[in-house]
Amino acid sequence: MKIQFNTDKNIEGHERLETYFTAELEKSLARFEDKITRFEVHLGDENSAKSGVDDKRCVIEARPAGLQPIAVTAHADSIEKAFFLAADKIKSAMTTVFEKQKAH
C-alpha cells in the first residue's frame, strides 16, 4: 500500500506531517491493505495567509484494485483535524464499498 502526499505552498512542516499522517493512515486502514494499491492525501489551506473558519482542507483518495477511485474531502480549522475527519470518512466509504462487493 503506497501513500502519496501532496501539499500546497501554504502548509508548513510537510515532512513531519507526512511521516505522522502516514503512520496514522497505515494504522487505521490496515485491514484494507491488500485491497488498495495507493492512497493520495492532498492537504491545503484555502485562504492562504488569511485566517478563516474551516479553511484547512484534506482530500484523501483511495485507489482500490479493480474499482473506481474513492475520494473524500474534509474541512476544519487545523490540518490535523481535517486529516482525521477525512481519514474517518475514507474508512467508512471503503467499508461500505467492500461490504457491498462482498454481498454480490
Domain that residue 97 falls in: 2-103
Cα(9)–Cα(14) distance, integer angstroms: 10
The reported pLDDT for the residue numbered 13 is 66
Q: Report the CATH number that the domain containing residue 75 is assigned in CATH.
A: 3.30.160.100
Q: SS3 sequence, 5-34?
A: EEECCCCCCHHHHHHHHHHHHHHHCHHHCC
pLDDT tens figures, 31-59: 888 899 999 999 988 877 666 677 899 99
Cα(59)–Cα(50) distance, integer angstroms: 21
Number of domains in the chain: 1
> pTM of the prediction?
0.87
